[in-house]
Structure 1
């Protein structure tokens, strides 16, 4: 059993090593970080959504920004569209589950915001529809995905594609990328920055 555990850790490390060596992905992470810092300087917000484990990641990242990540500072506006059960169930019931995020974006998104859609496959229909709604409102879209990026990567303004076909490895890397973004945003706005 110990060897199995070590193998799982090794696979996680190998996925992160691929991210570490992927210049295009690293440049895209920098691009997202810069856009987030700029939007916060303009009194806008980040909005996140995903399904299942990706819903938990959306909530996790939003909470790091609203609460704190590395140090005490003023709250940074961020919203996870996965937390309001009344919205989710009403929209799901009245319009269908495919619209649970797009409908919320229509009501709460503003031009200049950034919407980060999280999906391991990149093919979540409700995120794709949310991207379509976001574009109509002038909201920048970011696909945080895995595998080949799926349909989301084709329509997003920026795609962060984890180079893996394994759902657990993709999810582990998504939260790593989310933490990196939170760290950069916090330091750029409230501390000495990180030399973007």
Structure 2
């Protein structure tokens, strides 16, 4: 029941974001959907809707992320036993990137870069919101998190919000926490974090 409510909340957040962008000429989400419709290749299918990838694929707020995971060839990895903690950028987060960035990253020539960026959003192990907040508080207000790609994210608090600072000094806020999956947990973030 808790997961259902969180997914409904994700949908509401996404609808608000999509309404805010409705006057944009053509946002990244629309372009990604068009690419998916035109793509007849045999990319991996998501079969288990309880895994991190399956939960993300069942939510319209993560269409860009799921397209990126497929293009990077990470579906099988993120469908594995894990567990993983994924700081998942929403479609709106991807829309904040400079124009053309996502489309370029989804090309086969940029696969290695895309894998590096996506694995920078994944932490080995399952860390719910309470665990993250406790780690921040017990480490004098900041906590270094080592990601799957070997890079570091710094977690801190701004009031009650968990903030992630990437290796380039850019920040992202956790806007929805503790979306459960059979192989870990998803925390939605409002900006794409970038490795060095």
Same structural fold, with TM-score higher than 0.5 when normalized by the shorter chain: no
TM value normalised by structure 1: 0.28
Question: Is the helix fraction higher in 1 or 2?
Answer: 1
